[in-house]
Amino acid sequence: MAEYVLMIALSPTMDTGTISSWEKKEGDRIESGDLLCQVETDKATMDYESIQEGILLKILVGEGEQAQVGSPIAIVGEKDEDISDLLSDVDTRVVEEENEEDNKIENTASFSTPISTQERSEGDRIIASPLARRMAEERGLNLALIQGSGPRGRIIKRDIVKAENMVHTPSYTPASMSSAPPPGDEIIPVTTKRKIIAQRLAESKYSAPHYYLRLRVRTDDFMKARKALNQTLRESVSVNAFIVKFVAEALKRHPIVNSTWQGDTILRHSSIDIGLAVAQDDGLITPVVRDCGNKGIIEIDKELKELIDKALNNKLTPEEYSGATFTISNLGSFGIEEFTAIINPPGSAILAVGKIVQEPVVGDGNTIEIKSLMTMTLSCDHRVIDGAVGAAFLKDLKDIIEDPIRA
């Protein structure tokens, strides 16, 4: 019997997924465990392995299109099976979901004329949802110039919002909304990952009261220790591995920094799980080294290298990039000397690390010495970490870096 293939949550925070590619085509036989398609989630592109068996009768969500978790993306069944009822039900679901979204926002107006979804227009009438019509009227937008993205080209709320944004862009006029951009301009589609990054960082920035602590650290002894270790091992242990370990030691002394705000409670984590921000072509991802407080630098370095390689090849699993209790962002390799970073939930702090630079410093006896200095900026969530607590943590971290042997 024919049935839907539903979009499933391939990451803990996934609400929608974008089909990157279909690995099976209509008419193919599918067995349980077969790779059905590639889905772009909020963090990475994941394999969707089928849990159903049968013939792939119909693909409902094409490559590059989005689907909500729990919504149909395909139909499987027996060869030549009649699926007209399922296809009709899909159209009905889409319309009902759109009307439900309209009604949540617009519950004061009533429209007696039903809107058909069979065509983009019927005669001279434009097909649009009730809310879209009212929004267009209030904003003075001509529905005839707006391309609908709903079922059968129906104009819906998001199309009005998009059109309004274009109207208020200086280089565009209402008459040019359906035309190509000016020569030389490029329209870049926003990926699911980029949308989620924008949403989550905006939520973090405006819901968590950030404050910032900054100091400079002498790294001469730290770099000597790293050089000695590398010579002993005959391989290179990364600077990031040392910083992760140093942060873990400081968090042991200040466990409240390793906590999460939960509204009515604060969750103090028993495990120190440190994430390191890694740049990808379409955004950032934060692979996480678990239980850093009970691991040595060499073990941390090995895990970091494996995780970074997976991150750069878009192969991280949700367990490998979610749930960091503290995050580090190091832009020193780009020549950045100092910067501030936005807290990465569920953590309550993030450490921004800059480039190591050589500078003259006044030493003992008022002598001038050349020292290696690194600027660190700690962003804290004031709901969890008081100023004095954040300052004490950063001071202890400075002491550990400046004298790693004694620490």
**E-assigned strands of 150-287?**
210-218, 259-261, 266-268, 274-276, 278-280, 283-285
Question: What are the residues facing 74 on neighbouring strands?
Answer: 5, 59
Q: Is residue 254 among the annotated active site residues?
A: no
Task: Give the C-alpha separation, 260 to 244, whole Å.
Answer: 19
Which H helix or E strand runs over 316? Answer: none
Hey, CA dihedral for 29, 33, 34, 40, is it positive or negative? positive
Of 388, 391, 401, 386, the residue nearest 248 (C-alpha):
401
Is 269 in contact with 258 (CB distance < 8 Å)?
Answer: yes
Active site residue 382: yes
The SS3 assignment for 234 reads coil
Tell me the residue ranges of DSSP E strands in 63-188.
66-68, 72-77, 121-122, 125-126
Rounded Cα distance, 333 and 337, in Å: 10
Of 34, 210, 220, 382, catalytic:
382
Half-sphere exposure of 291 (CA within 13 A, CB side): 3
**Given the residues 91, 291, 309, 386, the one annotated as active site:** 386
Q: How far apart are CA 352 and CA 276, in angstroms?
A: 10
Question: Which residue(s) pair with 360 in the sheet?
Answer: 370
Nearest to 397 by CA among 220, 234, 253: 253
Establish how many alpha carbons lie within 13 A of residue 236's alpha carbon, considering only the half-sphere containing its beta carbon.
4
Residue 314's nearest CA partner among 88, 125, 47, 109 is 47
| CA angle (118 as vertex; 113, 121 as ends), nearest 5 | 70
Q: Which residues of 114-138 are buried (b: 16+ CB within 10 A; e: fewer)?
A: ebebeeebeeeebbbbbbbbbbbee
Catalytic residues: 382, 386
